[in-house]
Structure 1
Amino acid sequence: MDGLGLDCFYFVLHNLEFKILMPMVSSAKVQIVRIMHALERCRADK
């Protein structure tokens, strides 16, 4: 691969990574926050 082709390849790869990973990461963060809130509620109930 020439330099330009490689740059395009990395650019596409990073875009895909961003489009796929970011939603996954943000939904994982939401899940973690929900779990933390649930744990806090359980502790408060006891």
Structure 2
Amino acid sequence: MQSTAHQSALEAKHASIDRRLAEESHRPLPDTALIAELKKQKLRLKDEIVSH
């Protein structure tokens, strides 16, 4: 089982990516490549959070 600190760090990183994703999505001309990469990173983190 993961330590609480590690779990919290993963969740904080997930939230940070979520904010960056929201910011980029609301720009007049969002960078679709960046959005796709952020979504992949967010999904990887979520998988890691859930698997532990």
Moved over 6 A (4+): none
- Normalising by structure 2, what TM-score? 0.48
Greater share of helix = 1
Q: Which has the higher contact order (CA 8 A, sep 6+)?
A: 2
- Normalising by structure 1, what TM-score? 0.53
Q: Which has the larger radius of gyration?
A: 1
Sequence identity (%)? 7
- The number of residue pairs the alignment matches comes to 29
Structure 1 gaps of 5+ residues are: 1-13
The CA RMSD over aligned residues, in Å, is: 1.4
Structure 2 gaps of 5+ residues are: 30-52
Task: Please state how far the C-alpha of 1:41 moved relative to its aligned partner.
Answer: 0.6
